[in-house]
Structure 1
Amino acid sequence: ILDDAQEFSLRTERVEVASELYWEFLLAAAVFLGIGMGFIRERFQLYGFISTALVLFVVLARWG
């Protein structure tokens, strides 16, 4: 039993699956966000949204 538990703990497949799911969900979120931007009627809201997204991108790019 201990050998099986140790072998199971050494596997890295779970990490790879979690990483793959992360990128898939991130892509899905970006797609839904892009679709949602199409429904914005006011230009001011659109410009505010784009500027906020750019600021967040720069902050996260420098932080990561």
Structure 2
Amino acid sequence: MLEEFVALDPDTGEPDPEDASDAGRIRFRLTRGQALAFAERSEEIVAAGRPSCTWCGFPMDPDGHPCPRMN
């Protein structure tokens, strides 16, 4: 479940533009089991991604990529 809490201006009832203290951040709580499952699934997803270039380490597309180290 995701929840969002927004600070509202008491006069207008609109989001308070002055309260940007958490702008660009997210906070959530996980149990240890959830954190472990999240980490394991994240590793699976990364491992299933595109292979890395031997020369530069950037991900390669199926038809190659313009490697900056081979330029």
Shorter-normalised TM range: 0.3 to 0.5
What TM-score results when the alignment is normalised by the length of structure 2? Answer: 0.32
The structure where helix makes up a greater share of residues is 1
What TM-score results when the alignment is normalised by the length of structure 1? Answer: 0.35
